[in-house]
Amino acid sequence: MGRAGRDALAQYLPVLTQQHKPDFVVANAENAAAGYGLTLKIAADLFALGIDVLTTGNHVWDQKELLSTIGNEPRILRPCNFPKDTPGSGSFIAQSKAGRKLLVINVMGRLFMDAMDDPFAATTEIVNAHSLGKTVDGILIDMHCEASSEKQAIAHLFDGRVTAVLGSHTHVPTADDRILANGTAFQTDTGMCGDYDSVIGMKKDLSIQRMTRKYSFERLSPADGEGTVCAALVESDDKTGLAKSISTYRMGGALKQTA
């Protein structure tokens, strides 16, 4: 979320990767460019930090350059349930140096969101084309939506068929990280990387003005205090591709820190 989130990521992601040595790092970057979308320059900076795949959501086209360039960078995803012929792709298979393959699926919900194609059908089509533990070593779904019920429903639908379903969009980390009954890791929302002394990452005074007076002469802009990195670490079984554990992290900024 804006520069505060990018700066926090640059500070703490190397700490996490050094400590845990993950095979893959995935981040939702739809608010990276001053809170509104993503630019190729910022994407390159994030890839340089060691991120393998960038997902997005309803703000994917806020920076118009991405509409014409997303097709040139398969590691940047837009939700898979956009209408047919929308530029870009909703999924990507990343490959580690050791040869492991991770299928990342980006999908957006419909409850309290813009009208979209069916997220359940779109995700099913992609998952059906792969075999967890055989054609790919892991499958991660970024479920980008407002309603916790919709995130939980898609997680239970694919429980046992994907490695993890991690929610995004609400900018608030939830405390329900767990392994579902059939082996899929789940968290309703991983939270944002950004300044939490804010209104979901935006400066407090402008947000309050809009809500109390119903007008504002300024565009909402990201809070620029110290940022918090919110992350989830999923460990999977090498044979089945299902999750063995999920751990969450909060580092820096205003939130209570994890050990």
Active-site residues, by number, are 59
* 13 Cα distance to chain centroid: 15
Instruction: Give the up-direction half-sphere exposure of residue 100: CA atoms within 13 A in the CB hemisphere.
Output: 20
- How far is residue 8 from each of residues 48, 140, 161, 239, measured CA to CA in Å? 15, 24, 33, 35
State the distance between the two ends of the chain, measured CA to CA, in whole angstroms.
23
- How far is residue 125 from each of residues 37, 53, 85, 118, measured CA to CA in Å? 27, 20, 16, 11
Distance CA 146, CA 167 (A): 9
CB 49 within 8 A of CB 71: no
